[in-house]
Amino acid sequence: MSRDSRPAFDPYKHLNITINPNGSCTRHFSWPMVDPDPDPCPGKLAASKDVTINHETGVSVRIFRPTNLPSNDNAVARLPIIIHLHGSGWILYPANSAANYRCCSQMASELTVIVVSVHYRLPPEHRLPAQYDDALDALLWVKQQVVDSTNGEPWLRDYADFSRCYICGSSNGANIAFQLALRSLDHDLTPLKIDGCVFYQPLFGGKTRTKSELKNFADPVMPVPAVDAMWELSLPVGVDRDHRYCNPLGYLPQKEKVGRLGRCLVIGYGGDTSLDRQQDFVNLLVAAGVRVEARFDDAGFHSIELVDPRRAVALLNMIRDFIS
């Protein structure tokens, strides 16, 4: 069936949203939200707390620490830090959703790390690059906690290994993670050190349809018209999907900068609408000289870890191997 002869598809109905005259979005759904729980009592995977990092924008982070802290010679062992950018479909899910709470709690517990989950602002009320700005604010805030030995956030000051910081993102969160990694190169993060990046099913796009987009055009999780709508509501007004925020090939002229990224892990699945974009992204990293570990499985689809516990465990194992 040709593209023009496909049956009409209303992406906004699929996403269950309405676009308002002022450009904002009404979301006709409510996702379970979870408040932080700072008490590391037995039986819980992790304790968590919220900290506002930018009082002007209202952006906050949620910090997760394992309930059981490892020790060496009666001293608490220092734990790696993961700056976490959740998958939100750009416009749909905040960081305090139950799904993200579960993900970050499991990550903190299973990997024995400190997770700093960024509650970035959502489009279309806050279009790109607001999300990149929020992520950078979070990274610079984490650095400040070790610099300020007196007033630094205790969970980071007392438990974190600032020489082992990782940037990790899922779906559009992986898009944000890539931009954050690039922006971090413009800042002196000492004594914080970025030791690697994890890009899980990174969401990218472009004007020209790829084979995986055409093959999965009506995918129940990521139908192409819905992805188009997400980009339309997220990109700066007036730019198209070949803008570098959407299409990473826009960074080809900046190969030297891309090549300064540290180790990268890219994970994807054969049934993902964005598969070809993800592989183009890997090729960009490799061409720039980045040390890349690409883990692609022919079986699987976008966000499979949310419905298949075995894939969630496999994902954690891949990240564990990478940061170890």
Our CA angle for 162, 167, 171, nearest 5°, is 160
- DSSP designation for 120: -
Residue of 137, 219, 272, 276 with catalytic role: 272
The DSSP secondary structure of 144-165, one letter per residue, reads HHHH-TTTS-HHHHHHEEEEEE
Edge-first strand listing for the sheet containing 160-170 = 46-54, 59-66, 114-119, 79-85, 160-170, 194-200, 264-269, 292-297
Q: Pull the structure tokens for residue 118.
A: 């960024």
- DSSP designation for 250: G
- DSSP designation for 24: -
Q: Pull the structure tokens for residue 28.
A: 């006709």
d(CA 84, CA 114): 10
Note if 302 is an active site residue.
Answer: yes
Burial 299-321 (b: 16+ CB within 10 A, else e): ebbbbbbeeeeebbebbbebbee
Residue of 171, 184, 212, 274 with catalytic role: 171
Q: How many CA atoms lie within 13 A of 145 on its CB side?
A: 22
d(CA 305, CA 314): 9
Instruction: Evaluate whether 263 touches 247 at the Cβ level (below 8 Å).
Output: no
d(CA 209, CA 206): 7
Neighbours of 114 (CB within 10 A): 25
Query: Would the CA dihedral through 204, 205, 211, 215 be positive or negative?
Result: positive
Active site residues: 171, 272, 302
